[in-house]
Amino acid sequence: MPSTIIGYARTSTIDQTYGLAAQLRDLEAAGCEKVFQEQVSSVDKNRPELERALEYAREGDVFVVTKLDRLARSMPDLVRITDTLQAKGVTLKILALGIDTSTPTGKLMMNLLGSIAEFEREIMLERQREGIAKAKEEGKYKGRAPTAQRKADDVRRLRAEGKTAEEIVEVLGVSRSSVFRILRGTENLSASSRGGDNAF
């Protein structure tokens, strides 16, 4: 099967349309035959078109973006994406940086970026450990609250709005048992709420 040159373009929800148009123009000039594009918020972790593009790529294909920040939102994110492409035997090209991982120089640059990401992660973890140790010395460290307990107020609010247990589980991403445990622990539950799972 012949290789495909795949393009990916992204703008945030506050970017002007011409920002996306410029990327598409550059990707077309780079010979992209299949282009995935999306407009998503910079704080939204979900990028469905990027995931579709990565899934679409096959061994021997070339994955092209105009700039590094159009592809990844952080160094760890970049490492994840490049690892995915490398494992599939797909070449990455970043037009603005002149990076092409099919060349020795391009591979070197990506390895350097990966090393920087690992260094940043180690620094972050070290600061986190130091912060916890200091908090323990001062008697201020209480650890993290369980995820479900941190969302207890949201569970009760959604229940008050008439949501079922299943709907609350889907909205908040907590387990069904945690939802029932939180609701049963609420002092002012109605009798129907205390009736068991079937009450929902």
Any idea which residues carry the catalytic annotation?
Answer: 12
> Which residues lie across from 63 on neighbouring strands?
6, 92
Kindly state the tokens that stand for 12: 């945030």
The answer to whether 62 and 5 have CB atoms below 8 angstroms apart is yes
Do the beta carbons of residue 64 and residue 91 sit within 8 Å?
Answer: no
Place of tokens 């994955």: 63
The dihedrals phi and psi of 143, each to the nearest 5 degrees, come to: 75, 175
* 56 vs 52: CA distance, rounded Å: 6
Q: How far apart (Å, rounded) are the C-alpha atoms in residues 200 and 194? A: 10
CA 78 to mean position of chain CA atoms: 11
d(CA 31, CA 72): 22
From first CA to last CA, the distance across the chain in angstroms is 53
Cα separation of 129 and 118, whole Å?
A: 16
